[in-house]
Amino acid sequence: MHKDLLRLARAERGVRIHLACCLAAAVVAGLLVLVQAELLAGVLSGRFAVAALLPLALVVGCRGLLGWAQGVLAGRAATALKSALRRLLLGRVEGLGPAYRSGELVTLAGRGLDALDPYLTGYLPSVAVAGIVPLAVVVRLFVADLATAVIVVLTLPLIPIFGALVGWTTKTVTERQWRALSRLGGHFLDVVRGLPTLRAFGRARYQASVIREVAEAHRAATMRTLRVAFLSSLVLELVASLSLALVAVPVGLRLLSGSLDLRTALLVLLLAPEAYLPLRAMGTRFHAAMEGVAAADEAFAVINPPREAGHEAGPVAARTGAGRASRDGGPPEIRLEDVTVRYPGREETALDRVSLVIRPGERVAIVGPSGAGKSTLLHLLLGFVTPSEGRVLVDGTDLAGLDLDEWRRRLAFVPQRPHLFATSVADNIALGSAAGPAEIRAAAEAAQVAEFAGALPQGYDTPLGERGANLSAGQRQRVALARAFCRPAAQVLLLDEPTARLDGRSEAAIVEATRRLAEGRTAIIVAHRPAMIDLADRVVRLDGGALVGPVPAPSISTQGGEAR
């Protein structure tokens, strides 16, 4: 059973109560089978009068009622547990960063966690029944007929043994199927989001072929999983049928010879299948639940990411205490020591043994071709990405040992494509800060948002469309800069190509706002345009993830065009 899911179920009171009642209903319904078999065997053998059919009907009705209650309670427990798991999962979204594709997260939180229903409503109750009912049936068989009980005891372990052998293969193929589904969902959402860009560059047809390939991989993985599931059902049914035959044939022969009375024979034949049935049901439902288990494994890996040994706080962090940087006031010194970054599932390095020192208050421009690792370097400083090798030091303290929330409060980040939410201009500017109306307007003035905000229908209270649909690219970028101005305590400024795809007037406004924003702060600016590079004290070039070397800023900015 999944330990993390059960731990979460015990922690959530509503889930705990519903699940306990569900399991109790399943077990009681299973135990009533013994009463049902006793009454039916007595009526058929003539030991009980026909009036015994009334309590028999009551037992059957109770089993049906308990089965209905089990279904209702299991459904409520599953809904509550999935809600709790989604709440924990979505609570981690802010800290995931760009290394985790949003499409895969949507697939996991939606289709992936919905696949937990068979596990919670079918597999868990069947495990509870399989742990109690076969034992009770075997005890009753020992009392009724020792020879039959011995046969059942010897053959009963065959079902879990064969089920486990097939189950190992099932787990592997189901995890492959889930990875294929996750990749399909993630890639499809990314393609839909980038469709305008793909159309502009004539790459839409190619991406359609990629989606067909990913969908075909998912179809093939699903068919492999179904083949293994059908094979498992065949094996379990065959073992159970042969075991029942080993029980039924001797009972029939002894009944004909007169060494066994009719009531005992009927009781044995009615109870023996009930010893095997819970184990068969558990094996069948195990396969149906495996996709949900694979999704739960990934969800808990996101919620509680494992910390690698090399990323624990080092001795410097221990000396400075509780993961706090040693410098409390002023911009920090940032040092990268032989940092290598590899994204999961990729062999090539995004950063390759990069060593760099950024002095307090220094403004450094990072240039290089697309894919050189510039954005990865910023994501590394944001704590979204952890080094595969090497370390990042902030005032001598390993970033892996710092409190990330505290560190991010010292940062102001302006991404290349800032995300604006479907709320007012003021709320978008104040995102992540406790700024009041006066601070918001001051930040808007500094970032030159006031130039266009005053012309909006409701001024700063004008609601924006999702992703700032009713603003231009330059206006969205100025709102992102205003967010940075709303963080006066930020000591480090990170900018990721803030003037990309802007016209000359918008670029000039962004450059001037950035110049004021960078005053008194350590600034790391990823840039191609000379106007942004001119703001830097030093220029560093990345190519293929490796540090090429420092480049004098004038030698780039005077070339015109973009830095390559």
* DSSP code for 332: P
Give the pLDDT of residue 322.
40
Number of H helices, E strands in the chain: 23, 10
* Residue 516 CB coordination number (10 Å): 12
Residue 150 is encoded by which pair of tokens?
């011995």
Give the pLDDT of residue 114.
84
**Which residue do the tokens 């590899």 mark?**
342
Rounded to whole angstroms, the Cα distance separating 497 from 270 reads 75
Q: Which long-range contacts (CB under 8 A, 24 or more apart) does 258-266 make?
A: 260/145, 261/45, 262/44, 262/45, 263/41, 263/42, 263/45, 263/47, 264/144, 264/145, 266/40, 266/41, 266/44, 266/45
Question: 434: which residues sit within 8 A by CB, 6+ positions away?
Answer: none
Give the pLDDT of residue 274.
86
Rounded to whole angstroms, the Cα distance separating 249 from 155 reads 15
Give the pLDDT of residue 316.
37
DSSP-derived 3-state class of residue 140: helix
* Residue 210 CB coordination number (10 Å): 14
DSSP-derived 3-state class of residue 238: helix
* Residue 360 CB coordination number (10 Å): 15
Give the pLDDT of residue 99.
53
Residue 263 is encoded by which pair of tokens?
């009531």
User: Are 471 and 419 contacting, i.e. CB atoms less than 8 angstroms apart?
Assistant: no
Rounded to whole angstroms, the Cα distance separating 174 from 218 reads 11
Rounded to whole angstroms, the Cα distance separating 541 from 547 reads 6
Residues forming a β-bridge with 542: 547
Give the pLDDT of residue 58.
92
Give the pLDDT of residue 313.
40
Rounded to whole angstroms, the Cα distance separating 168 from 146 reads 35
| Neighbour-count burial of 365, counting CB atoms closer than 10 A to its CB (0-12 exposed, 13-18 middle, 19+ buried) | buried
Q: Which of 56, 114, 111 is nearest to 82 (CA)?
A: 114
User: Are 97 and 383 contacting, i.e. CB atoms less than 8 angstroms apart?
Assistant: yes
pTM of this structure: 0.59
Which tens digit of pLDDT belongs to each residue from 542-551? 887 787 755 5
Give the pLDDT of residue 501.
59
Give the pLDDT of residue 65.
94
Which tens digit of pLDDT belongs to each residue from 428-438? 888 777 777 88
Query: pLDDT per position in the chain (564 positions), as tens?
Result: 577 888 888 888 888 888 889 889 999 998 998 888 888 888 887 777 777 788 888 988 998 999 999 889 988 888 888 888 888 887 776 656 555 566 667 777 777 788 888 888 888 888 888 889 889 989 988 888 888 888 888 888 888 787 777 666 766 777 777 777 777 776 676 677 667 766 766 777 777 777 788 788 778 877 877 777 777 777 777 888 888 888 888 888 888 888 888 888 888 888 888 888 888 888 778 777 777 777 787 788 777 765 543 444 443 333 334 444 444 567 888 888 888 888 766 777 888 888 888 888 888 888 888 777 888 888 888 888 888 888 888 888 888 888 877 888 888 887 877 778 888 878 888 877 777 788 888 887 777 777 777 777 777 777 877 777 777 777 787 788 788 877 777 788 888 877 665 666 667 777 777 787 777 788 888 877 777 787 778 888 888 778 775 555 444 444 444 444
Q: Which long-range contacts (CB under 8 A, 24 or more apart) does 253-261 make?
A: 254/147, 260/145, 261/45
Residue 402 is encoded by which pair of tokens?
């710092």
**What structural domains does the chain harbor?**
3-303 (1.20.1560.10), 307-410+489-564 (3.40.50.300), 426-487 (no CATH)
Give the pLDDT of residue 96.
61
CA 221 to chain centroid = 20
